[in-house]
Amino acid sequence: MNTQDKSFSHCGIAFEENGKWFVFHSIGGEDNPDEKLRKEPFENFITPKDNTGFGICDFSFTSHETQLLKFIVDSLYKKEIPFDMQFDLKTNDKLYCAEMVAKAIQLTLKNDSFFRYIQ
């Protein structure tokens, strides 16, 4: 989403549920030994213990698109999709953080060219 500023090394998708915000994100390593897609409270995701800052990107989705995106991301979470340590965009059985965000949004919008991939 940002090809200029390299300050950000991790991303997720946030949804509000019953007045509380949660972030779905894919992370591996010692922070998440089972490497499964995570859902955690927003305040845990941005904790200063692990972060020096954060950014928010707000898309103008229709209500239907927002519901569909939530369904897609929640489905990935329930399937316990693992983190992709190979960072392989060609597979969908494992996803790294930006790959999960991009593919979920592309599925929602039915648009494979919504994001530009830099290899």
Beta bridge partners of 17: 20
What is the edge-to-edge ordering of all strands in the sheet holding 13-17?
13-17, 20-25, 38-41
* Whether the Cβ atoms of residue 35 and residue 80 lie closer than 8 Å to each other: no
Question: Which one-letter amino acid corresponds to residue 98?
Answer: A
Contact yes or no for 104/75 (Cβ under 8 A):
no
pTM of the model: 0.88
- What are the extents of the domains in the chain? 13-109
How confident is the model over 2-28, as pLDDT tens digits? 677 777 788 999 999 999 999 999 998
pLDDT averaged over the chain?
89
Contact, 14 vs 22, CB < 8 A? yes
Question: Which CATH architecture group holds 13-109?
Answer: Alpha-Beta Complex (3.90)
Which residues have a Cβ under 8 Å from the Cβ of 109 and sit 6 or more positions away? Answer: 65
